[in-house]
A = this chain, B = another copy of it.
Amino acid sequence: MAAKPRAGPINLREACISEALQIIEDAGIEGLSLREVARRLGVSHQAPYKHFPSRDHILAEILARCFDEFAAFLDQRPPSTEPFDDLRGMGEQYMAYARLHPVKYRLMFNTPMPDPDAHPNMMRNAQRAFALLRDRLTDMALRPVDETHRSSANLDAMFVWSTLHGLASILQSDTFRTLKMSDVELQQAISRCFARLSLALTPLP
């Protein structure tokens, strides 16, 4: 009754996704075409259309998985007892993902996305990743003070999130590459950001 792999139905679907991602890694997002996917897999140019209604749909599926992977990656960070260490750990985890998976990170944050309303699953996963991050940061900001300031902690979480996202995003952007910053400066910049973040999070009057 349900779909039973006939030696290659779901296989091709999965193969399309991983091959598409490979193409993006090789040639960038603009190099992705369903026909190239089909060609690499040795199937007809229409075969992928049996599994994805359009190019945007395969992109949305890839993005959905990226957001999932991203959220899981952030979640696996080992917790620490010291709030600032914890915060820094989270920040480093965030930056680590961007460093380890630059293409995927760019795909998620530095690339035009398919219309979110048309791809609810992708959007849900994205939202989940963002919510996770913000909630974690909120908890951390909350710990040093008392529980009555949850909304205030939420604002601080937005601040930290902004800085992390902005930094990772900038480092991955084409625009940043035009600045021709050296690797040393880059490492210094990241360290400086963490230092400034710590400084920023002293209690407000």
Contact = CB atoms under 8 A, between A and B. Distances in A.
Interface of A: 28-30, 106, 108-113, 116, 122-123, 126-127, 130-131, 134, 151, 154-156, 158-159, 161-167, 169-170, 173-179, 185, 188-189, 192-193, 195-197, 199-202, 204
Q: How many copies does the complex hold?
A: 2
Given A126-B175, A165-B166, A175-B126, A202 B204 contact: no
B176 A130 contact: yes
A173 to B, nearest CB: 6
Contacts of A158: 167, 170, 189, 192-193
A125 to B, nearest CB: 9
A122 to B, nearest CB: 8
Contacts of A106: 112
Given A156-B196, A162-B166, A178 B109 contact: no
Contacts of A108: 175
A200 B197 CA distance: 6
6 contacts: A110-B169, A116-B174, A116-B177, A130-B176, A197-B200, A199-B200
A193 B159 contact: yes
A176 B113 CA distance: 11
